[in-house]
């Protein structure tokens, strides 16, 4: 091509002016959407096959196109595909190369009745569908690791926290399963979203539909779609399926962030409940003693990145008029980035937890008798005293222990009875952490039986 010669463009017939080179660069998307090369080629083969029935292509022409697209696919797979000037996107690149392989006369028939509008929507849905299968697998893997650790470490008792202050004793497994519950909800949303993604736009043309009676159901079956998008305008102008995925990713990222924050705190020397494996930590360039939980900090930070991608895309599409507008090209980059970030994050989270060392003796040492003040109040409830009264009496005992600079379990029975005669000689039996957690046996509680019930529900959900 001569230096000042313009490349031939699919849409160039009514244009006579020269395109600004900066506009070419600003407009191109091949640098991003080249990842859809396989989906684009498979979609083109299905479209060509369906056009044999419409009479647009003969069987012989279809076979030539199919063989030619197979050669183009091999070039991509082997890293030999060479983009040319004028290849704005993966669609024009593949069609241009097909024309070079089989000749432009037959290759030129492929795009009949088709638009890049329905083509890109199809490519994105096919690519995203495959990636969501992987994301689901990684999320299930994380949940399996949580379940395994919860079962393995079920005897470990630790403080729970509200307002980041020590609250009541719980099983470490109960803390683990609190996040499993959140990730289970994410899994349900992800599975629902995957079904929404897996609907075919191809055959809807640029905006109004296909004029040649193409069999969209046949194409859907060939390409593995579960259904059709029934309105052509919606099919080409909708990116809600990307937004939904980014929303799912943001929710998962938010839960990963909170989970990471807890583990960062628990792995600090001040707590010492957990130690991450060397494979998921780094050191300091200045302080030799440092072991930083970088994997968890990155999980926490990348959740913001995923949320930003979602918010950015929603702002890009919220005000555009109906059907396809070039603004929708801005859905590709955040989708690609978020999918990679989420896949990496889920794997890092699962591996970090699977290889972490837990120190139950540090957890036990962090428990204190005042954390059983509620148990003390409930002790009197079992004797028929109204809870509002028992809460007040338990609070008085907390204050007395503080004044005496003793643990509540170190006060004498006589001191308890000096506050209220209804404290019996067995009152000190309240100060048993194992007893405390075992009393919380209602579904959802932290007793062994309740935790095992949660575990069973979790395992059952993973088979769906």
Residue 437 placed within a domain:
no
Same domain, residue pair 358 and 383: no
Residue 321 placed within a domain:
yes
DSSP bridge pairs for 158 = 170
Q: Is the pLDDT of residue 12 over 60?
A: no
Same domain, residue pair 233 and 347: yes
Domain boundary among 64, 87, 107: 107
Which of 18-32, 274-288, 341-355 has maximum average pLDDT?
A: 341-355
pLDDT for residue 416: 96
Q: What is the mean pLDDT of residues 15-44?
A: 86
Same domain, residue pair 154 and 248: yes
Same domain, residue pair 245 and 340: yes
Tokens of 128: 């995203």
Give residue-wise pLDDT tens across range 45-85. 999 999 999 999 999 999 999 999 999 999 999 999 999 98
Q: What is the mean pLDDT of residues 383-412?
A: 96
Residue 196 placed within a domain:
yes
Q: Which long-range contacts (CB under 8 A, 24 or more apart) does 317-326 make?
A: 317/239, 317/243, 322/233, 322/237, 323/117, 323/207, 323/233, 323/236, 323/237, 324/117, 324/206, 324/207, 324/236, 324/237, 325/237, 326/27
Same domain, residue pair 165 and 297: yes
pLDDT for residue 284: 79
CATH number at residue 233: 1.20.200.10
Same domain, residue pair 346 and 266: yes
Residue 24 placed within a domain:
yes
Residue 448 placed within a domain:
no
Same domain, residue pair 124 and 240: yes
Same domain, residue pair 152 and 59: no
Give residue-wise pLDDT tens across range 129-185. 999 999 999 999 999 999 999 999 999 999 999 999 999 999 999 999 999 999 999
The C-alpha atoms of residue 37 and residue 34 are separated, in whole angstroms, by 5
**Looking at the 3D structure of the chain, how many domains does it have?**
3
Helix axis angle, 373-381 relative to 387-404, nearest 10°?
140
Same domain, residue pair 380 and 351: no
The C-alpha atoms of residue 310 and residue 331 are separated, in whole angstroms, by 9
Residue 455 placed within a domain:
no
The C-alpha atoms of residue 398 and residue 410 are separated, in whole angstroms, by 12
CATH number at residue 53: 1.10.275.10
DSSP letter string over 189-246? HHHHHHHHH-EE-TT-TTTT--TT---HHHHHHHHT-SEE-S-HHHHHH--HHHHHHH
DSSP letter string over 116-151? HHHHHHHHHHHHHHHHHHHHHHHHHHHHHHHHHHHH
Strands 157-162 and 165-171: antiparallel
Residue 284 known to be catalytic:
yes
CATH number at residue 414: 1.10.40.30
Same domain, residue pair 349 and 417: no
pTM more than 0.75: yes
Residue 163 known to be catalytic:
yes
Q: What percent of the chain has pLDDT over 90?
A: 89
Which residue in 105, 163, 285, 463 is the catalytic one? 163
Q: Is the pLDDT of residue 428 over 60?
A: yes
Same domain, residue pair 144 and 103: no
Q: What is the mean pLDDT of residues 365-385?
A: 97
Question: By three-state DSSP, how is residue 169 classified?
Answer: strand
pLDDT for residue 464: 56
Which residue in 31, 268, 284, 418 is the catalytic one? 284
Same domain, residue pair 101 and 170: no
Residue 25 — pLDDT band, cuts 50, 70, 90? confident
* 172: containing domain: 116-365
Give residue-wise pLDDT tens across range 292-326. 899 999 999 999 999 999 999 999 999 999 999 99
Domain boundary among 365, 387, 416: 365
Residue 8 — pLDDT band, cuts 50, 70, 90? low
Q: What percent of the chain has pLDDT over 70?
A: 96
């Amino acid at each position: 091509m001569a230096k000042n010669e313009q490349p031939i463009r699919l849409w160039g017939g009514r244009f006579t002016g020269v395109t600004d080179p900066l506009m070419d660069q600003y407009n191109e998307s091949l640098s991003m959407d080249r990842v859809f090369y396989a989906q684009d080629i498979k979609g083109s083969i299905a479209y060509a096959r369906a056009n044999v029935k419409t009479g647009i292509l003969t069987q012989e022409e279809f076979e030539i196109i199919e063989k030619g697209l197979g050669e183009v696919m091999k070039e991509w797979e082997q890293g030999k595909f060479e983009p040319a000037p004028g290849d704005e996107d993966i669609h024009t690149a593949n069609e241009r190369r097909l024309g070079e392989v089989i000749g432009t006369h037959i290759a030129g028939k492929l795009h009949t009745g088709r638009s890049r509008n329905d083509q890109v929507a199809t490519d994105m849905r096919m690519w995203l569908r495959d990636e969501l299968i992987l994301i689901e697998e990684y999320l299930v893997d994380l949940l399996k690791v949580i379940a395994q650790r919860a079962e393995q470490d079920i005897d470990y008792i630790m403080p729970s926290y509200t307002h980041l202050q020590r609250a009541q004793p719980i099983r470490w497994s109960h803390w683990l399963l609190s996040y499993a519950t959140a990730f289970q909800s994410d899994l349900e949303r992800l599975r629902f979203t995957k079904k929404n993604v897996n609907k075919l736009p191809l055959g809807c043309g640029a905006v109004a539909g296909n004029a040649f009676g193409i069999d969209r159901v046949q194409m859907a079956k060939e390409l593995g779609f579960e259904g059709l998008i029934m309105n052509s305008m919606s099919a080409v102008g909708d990116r809600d399926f990307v937004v939904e995925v980014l929303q799912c990713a943001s929710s998962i990222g938010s839960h990963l962030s909170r989970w990471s924050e807890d583990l960062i705190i628990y792995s600090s020397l001040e707590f010492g409940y957990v130690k991450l494996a060397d494979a998921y930590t780094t050191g300091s360039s200045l302080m030799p003693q440092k072991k930083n939980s970088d994997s968890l900090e990155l999980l926490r930070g990348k959740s913001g990145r995923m949320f930003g991608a979602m918010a950015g895309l929603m702002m890009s599409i919220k005000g555009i008029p109906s059907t396809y507008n070039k603004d929708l090209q801005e859905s590709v980059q955040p989708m690609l980035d978020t999918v990679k970030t989420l896949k990496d994050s889920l794997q890092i989270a699962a591996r970090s937890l699977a290889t972490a060392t837990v120190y139950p003796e540090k957890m036990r040492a962090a428990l204190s008798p005042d954390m059983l003040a509620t148990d003390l109040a409930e002790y009197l409830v079992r004797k028929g005293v109204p809870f509002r009264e028992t809460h007040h009496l338990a609070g008085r005992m907390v204050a007395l222990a503080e004044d005496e600079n003793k643990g509540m379990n170190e006060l004498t029975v006589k001191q308890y009875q000096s506050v209220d005669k209804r404290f019996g000689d067995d009152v000190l039996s309240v100060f048993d952490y194992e007893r405390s957690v075992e009393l919380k046996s209602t579904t959802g509680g932290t007793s062994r039986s309740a935790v095992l019930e949660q575990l069973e529900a979790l395992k059952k959900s993973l088979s769906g």
